[in-house]
Amino acid sequence: MSVLFKTIAVFLFGLTAYSCFAHEVRPAYLQINQVSENVYTVLWKVPRTVDKVLDIQPKFEKTFDLKETTPPRILDAFVLYSYQLKGSKSLTNTEISIHKLNTTGIDVLVDIRLLSDIHHTFLLQPTKKTVLIPETPNKWTVAKTYIILGVEHILLGFDHLLFVLALLIITVGFKKLLKTITAFTIAHSITLSFSALGIANLPGPPVEAVIALSIVFLAIEILKLQQGKSTITSQKPWLVAFTFGLLHGFGFAGALQDIGLPQNEIPLALATFNIGVELGQIIFVIIVLALIKLIKYFIPQQTWLYKLVPYAIGSISAFWLIERISGF
């Protein structure tokens, strides 16, 4: 058990250093809508921080002319740019690239809608900043795009990872752990789907605050467990995982809303984003368990780590809670 806490302490140290970036890294978004023959409206949405906007721009072939139509606008964590794109031919079979994308660590979701009802979705990355627009869309491209976005969201969503980590500490036994992770998966899949389909929704800031509060709650439960007290979380971790998982699903939905969904492929994009989230979650659990097994013979027992870990989890999540409440 002490090995688990040693591994977690290392993870939390790095997490604390990165806590000011607790919100996941959002992708940029390029939306292109055809309005007439060889004429398009372009919406370019670039992530920003308090004092910095990424210096990246969409680039088209030389036969196209891109002109700004309205001044840039700030919307939450993004800056919005609006353009008109005109060319001597169709965008089909031409290349789109993102200038300087290779100097960043973010992705760009490209959404193209033509008058012929053809719809394209692509994911550009620092290592692949150019795409050739085909004549016909590929469903696998949409599926692959949203699987990658789902994996990235969970692996860069440190609050969600910290919640899963706390569940790993509390849950003893492989069968109980499998049951707990499954309950969490089912719960956030339900609310993610309901929110994305417009069936049910909750405002983002309160949801994010309660997600942080759920981690504080688990930190307190860990301390009680260490003191030999029986808690509902230690007895039925699957019930707690399911209850809070419903809220985490609304958090995932908020991220998906920022990313956007292709209107003619909503079921496919929603399903594959969810699959990506689950893959990312499984990757995280496997890595933590593998690290525990790897170092259990090399680190001597340090009983003080038992207390450090829940206090570190509680402190980080309490900071997020205060930060998110102050942002209301």
Residues 19 and 36 in one domain: no
Assigned domain for 269 exists: yes
For 100, list phi and psi in degrees, rounded to 5. 70, 10
Within the chain, what is the greatest distance between any pair of CA atoms? 74
Residues 167 and 200 in one domain: yes
In one-letter notation, the amino acid at residue 209 is A
For 302, list phi and psi in degrees, rounded to 5. -130, 100
Residues 67 and 184 in one domain: no
Residues 170 and 102 in one domain: no
Q: Read off the tokens for 297.
A: 């013979």
Non-local CB neighbours of 207 within 8 Å, separated by 6+ positions: 247, 250, 251, 254
Q: Read off the tokens for 10.
A: 């290392």
Residues 130 and 250 in one domain: no
Assigned domain for 72 exists: yes
What range does the domain containing 295 cover? 2-24+157-326
Residue where a domain stops, chosen among 105, 137, 169: 137
Assigned domain for 170 exists: yes
Residue where a domain stops, chosen among 77, 106, 137: 137
Provide the whole-model pTM: 0.77
74 forms beta bridges with: 79
CA 99 to CA 324: how far, in whole Å? 33
Residue where a domain stops, chosen among 94, 109, 137: 137
Please report, in tens digits, the pLDDT of each residue of the chain (328 residues total).
445 555 555 555 455 444 444 444 578 999 999 999 999 999 999 988 666 788 899 999 999 999 999 999 988 778 999 999 999 999 999 999 999 999 888 899 999 999 988 888 899 999 999 999 998 888 888 899 899 988 988 888 888 889 998 998 888 888 888 899 899 999 999 998 898 888 888 888 889 999 999 999 999 999 898 888 888 888 889 999 999 999 999 988 887 777 777 777 788 888 999 899 889 999 998 888 887 677 666 665 555 666 788 888 899 999 999 988 987 7
Find the helix or strand (DSSP H, E) in which 232 lies.
helix 232-235
Residues 216 and 194 in one domain: yes
Q: By C-alpha distance, which of 203, 208, 199, 207 is closest to 266?
A: 199
82 forms beta bridges with: 43, 70
- The tally of CA atoms less than 13 A away on the side-chain side of residue 40 is 26
The total number of structural domains that make up the chain: 2
Assigned domain for 122 exists: yes
Assigned domain for 151 exists: no
